[in-house]
Structure 1
Amino acid sequence: MSALSVKTTISVLPGVAAAGAAALVAWGVSTGLPTLPLLTVCVVLGIVFAQLPGMGTLLRGILAPGLAFSSKKLMRAGVVLLGLKLSLVDIAGLGWATLLTTIAIVLITFAGTYGLGRLLKLPGHEPLLMATGFSICGASAIGAMSGVVNAKRKDQAHPVALVTLCGTLAIFVLPALWEPLGLTDLQFGHWVGAGVHDVGQVVATAQIAGGSALAVALVVKLTRVLMLAPIVAVAGVVERRRNVAVTDAKRPPIVPLFVAGFIVAILVRSFVPLPEAVLNGADIVQTALLAMALFGLGSAVDIKRLLTAGWRALVVGLLSWVLIAALALGAVQLS
């Protein structure tokens, strides 16, 4: 190992250690309060940490390399392992009608959120990141898309904060509407899976309706996660073409390596009989990696900026949340 590599490794250790400690704290909080998903707690901890007096110096100094490493490299590794949750057999079991409506919801929400973001003139990559997070799988999807379009950590701050806020609101709002809307347990699970952003938030919301509702919710949700690969791949192609005229620009690969890994993981889960112990171990590692990554992303959130310059992003986020919930409810009632 070269001296430069050793120096780089040492520089990331403080930030990675902070992210790891935060993940452990979040695990403790989530264990004590099961209604709070671990990954949601990690984002909130990152946001709170960044607002504490004197933390700005640490975040811009000794912790910066490690938090950037966590929010980028660990996020990509976690997304790859997320593919092991997906089985094409389970997805096929939904039936063509449910499968096609779920894909349609993702695409309509993505296009609608992106259009709203452009209409309200959100800066930089924010419209794309908001669209990805709200339509597919929350902060994890935002991190994956950011890796393709080379978005800076601060550019991810508003989308991550807002998709976490709306997903957390869903944990309390959707169950309150369950009985007034006259949904059965399975319909409620379908609605949650199609309309809530993060996998952990889906579990926290659907589990109150029982095991059958939770199973349906997870399969529908993971079908949405499957859309991460093609949407990110298309974004990679667009970004590559956009950089063609810029001779000094580093053009991203047509299909990013971690997206290819995500697809391979899905295929392995679908066709290779993996032992339960292997799947459980991969799930623990994947959760830990995403927890650390989301703490890093949360620590980039500037609350003052979000409440002032970020009001447009707030409007886009809330409208997107209503859009996907309404589309998902319509799909459930038509099925």
Structure 2
Amino acid sequence: MPLFSSRPLRSASPLRCAGPLPGLLAAAGAVVLALAVHSLVPVLPAMTLAVAAGLLAANVPGLAGWTAGPGRAGLDFAGKHLMRAGIVVLGLKVSLMDVLGLGWAALLLITGVVLAAFAGTYAISRLFRLPPPVSLLIATGFSICGASAIGAMAAVRRIRQHDTVLPVALVTLCGTLAIGVLPLLIRPLGLGPEVFGAWAGASVHDVGQVVATAQTAGASALAVAVVVKLTRVILLAPMVAVAGLHHRSSAASGAGLKRPPIVPLFVLGFVALAALRSTGWLSPAVLDAAAVLQDILLGMALFGLGSAVRVGQLLHTGARALLAALASWLLIAALGLGAAFLMIR
């Protein structure tokens, strides 16, 4: 049996005529619910809740058939196109001035952590015999910025949306694990707030998960964590560009193959909005509105991806992937902790 269920219904079915609207409405409703729960329980990131809602929808009797049938068109649209739109808007969270304020030594250190985490995670995934495309996506999501990075890399490498679901599930699981585990280690490791914040920013995957983890140690930890994390987010553009260049050269060597763009337009949009944010021209109200829009877009995308996962089959066939993800999570946590001690002296 396939691990993921995204088979379309036969075109003759009248349910298919509904198009993407039912799935999009369901995804929007799930995000509203996730944001409401997050506002009541801030330690639960809205994006994690959106993935969890998708998983529930895909595995609860009565809803599972709907997510695989009449809702599938809209859910697939959200998982692909709204994910890209959300990555563009993510650029408005990145201020180059804040990042440069860390100093060149810290920037080089964070870059080294990202590269080591990427290479190490890819090697671990291949060691556990995961397919190269899945290994690439897991390495990208774990080392840079979670599901957003996975979506960007999948686009530039022309990896099927079907193959992004498992990496997104794993990066969400391990990021959620960090929220509960890392704060418990503050006292045993003797970490100050700034060191803990740098550790969270350097090792936790998604931006929302970083915030949820770092805020447990106070405002100073949160401030450091966000800047360190956004430095990793900036590396999304060059990493994707390098992957696109490699893929373009590989495609050029094949007869009759159309060469893909080096960098997709939505990644260029991310860079453009990051540059716009760095000018300081945008008001706090605009940035707040953009943050809400980004949560809505990425939340709908993650609900769509989560709704393609069948948990029973995932547990049966994804054990190797889960072990690889946990090993990679430990590697990145160790790398991030070492970098935090070097950055905050």
Equivalent residues of 1:116, 1:316 under 8 A apart: yes
- Please tell me the residue identity of whatever aligns with 1:322: L
Number of the residue aligned with 1:144? 152
Partners of 1:122 and 1:54 in 2: CA distance: 32
Indicate whether 1:311 and 2:319 are aligned: yes
State the match for 2:192 in structure 1: 184
Give the corresponding residue for 1:270: 278
Aligned-pair CA distance for 1:227: 0.8
Deviation at 1:268, TM superposition (A): 0.8
Quote the offset at 1:246 in angstroms: 4.1
Q: Work out whether residues 121 and 138 of structure 2, in 8 Å CA contact, stay in contact via their aligned partners in 1.
A: yes
- Partners of 2:49 and 2:256 in 1: CA distance: 40
Is 1:83 aligned to residue 105 of structure 2? no
Letter in 2 for 1:251: R
Contact 1:153/1:300 (8 A) holds in 2: no
Unaligned runs of 5+ in 1: 1-7
Distance across 2 between alignment mates of 1:59 and 1:9: 15
Instruction: Show the counterpart of 1:253.
Output: 261
Helix, strand or coil at the partner of 2:20: helix
Matched residue, 1:30: 38
Letter paired with 2:155:
G
* Alignment-mate amino acid for residue 149 of structure 1: R
Q: Deviations over 1:88-129 (max 9, x none)?
A: 110011112211111111100001111122222212510001
- Find out whether 1:123 has 2:131 as its counterpart: yes
**1:12-63 CA deviation, whole Å, 9 max, x = no partner?**
1111111101101111211221110000100111111111114343223211
For 1:75-224, list aligned pairs within 5 A.
75-224=83-232
**Counterpart code for 1:147:** A
User: Equivalent residues in 2 for 1:222-237 (5 A)?
Assistant: 222-237=230-245
CA shift, 1:10, in A, is 5.7
Contact 1:14 1:66 in 2 (8 A): yes
Give the Cα separation in 2 of the matches to 1:94 and 1:124.
Answer: 35
Tell me the amino acid that sits aligned with residue 229 of structure 1: A
**Matched residue type, 1:191:** W
Q: Partner of 1:286 in structure 2?
A: 294
Code of the aligned partner of 2:244: G
Deviations 1:232-264 (A, max 9, x none): 111122222232244554432111101111111
Counterpart of 1:4 in structure 2 is: none
SS of alignment partner, residue 179 of structure 1: helix
Counterpart Cα distance in 1 of 2:254 and 2:129: 24
Q: TM-score, normalised by structure 1?
A: 0.94
Structure 1 residue 272, shift from structure 2 partner: 4.5
Post-superposition shift, 1:84? Answer: 0.8
Change (3 A) 1:264 1:302: same
Distance 1:247 1:11 in 2: 36
Matching residue's letter, 1:231: M
Q: Compute the displacement of 1:156 (Å).
A: 1.4
Aligned residue pair count? 328
The answer as to 2:326 corresponding to 1:301 is: no
Q: Quick one: which of 5, 16, 19 aligns to 1:11? A: 19
Is the contact between residue 154 and residue 301 of structure 1 (CA under 8 Å) also seen in structure 2? no
d(CA) in 1 for partners of 2:17 and 2:265? 22
Aligned-residue RMSD, C-alpha? 1.6
How far apart in 1 are the matches of 2:254 and 2:25? 38
Distance across 1 between alignment mates of 2:276 and 2:142: 27
For the residues of structure 1 that align with 2:245 and 2:315, how far apart are their CA atoms?
A: 34
Match of 2:52 in 1: 44
* Contact 1:202–1:217, Cα closer than 8 Å, also in 2: yes
How far apart, CA to CA, are the structure 1 residues paired with 2:272 and 2:32?
29
**Which amino acid is 2:299 matched to?**
A
Q: Residues of 2 paired with 1:275 and 1:156: CA distance?
A: 35
* Local SS of the residue matching 2:281: coil
2: distance between equivalents of 1:181 and 1:238? 41
Q: Aligned pair 1:55/2:55, yes or no? A: no
Range with greater deviation from structure 2 (28-37 or 171-180): 28-37
Whether the aligned pair in 2 keeps the contact of 1:124 and 1:155 (CA below 8 Å) is no
Could you tell which deviates more after superposition, 77-86 or 53-62?
53-62
Q: Answer yes or no: is 1:71 the counterpart of 2:79.
A: yes
Which blocks of at least 5 consecutive residues in structure 2 are unaligned? 1-15
Identity score, percent: 56
Give distance in 1, aligned partners of 2:180 and 2:27.
Answer: 28
Equivalents in 2 of 1:254, 1:10: separation in Å? 36
